[in-house]
Amino acid sequence: MAGESKIEIVIAVIAVIFFILGVYLNKKSLHSEKPSDNEIDQSQIDAIGLSKREYEVLIQIHKGFSNKEIAEHLFLSESTIKTHVSNILVKLDAKRRTQAIQKAKALQILPS
């Protein structure tokens, strides 16, 4: 009987040690996490000078919608969307929509 209780105590001590180690490692990993790739950097949006509506259009471009589809989705004219797209290209210093998306992702203003 005395031998069995010693084994139970040793097992309990080992369990407590692993529990404490697990809590320590969990807290350490939570503090060392980098910001998620999907976090949007609002300061970059402001620095570039994108308006709220231009940013909405950029998101729709990122989703792969055409100017006509974006216009229908945002209840704007296609001409207005073309103007917004043109402004986005200028502000991101891009020649094409795909290049604008790449630059926006690099600036972390669009999810990866």
Rounded to the nearest 5°, which phi and psi values hold at 38? -90, 0
CA distances from 74 to 17, 24, 67, 99 (A): 58, 49, 10, 23
H-type alpha helices, 32-77: 42-48, 52-62, 67-74
pTM confidence score: 0.65
For domain 42-106, which CATH number applies: 3.40.50.740, 1.10.10.10, 1.10.3720.10, 3.20.20.10? 1.10.10.10
What value, to the nearest 5°, has the Cα angle with vertex 74 and ends 73 and 78?
90
Given its phi and psi angles, is residue 41 left (phi above 0), alpha (psi -120 to 50 degrees) or beta? beta
**pLDDT 10s per residue in the chain (112 long)?**
566 788 889 899 999 899 998 888 887 766 554 445 567 888 889 999 999 999 999 999 999 999 999 999 999 999 999 999 999 999 999 999 999 999 999 999 998 6
Domain spans, the chain: 1-33, 42-106
Please state, in angstroms and rounded to a whole number, the distance separating the CA atoms of residues 25 and 54.
Answer: 43
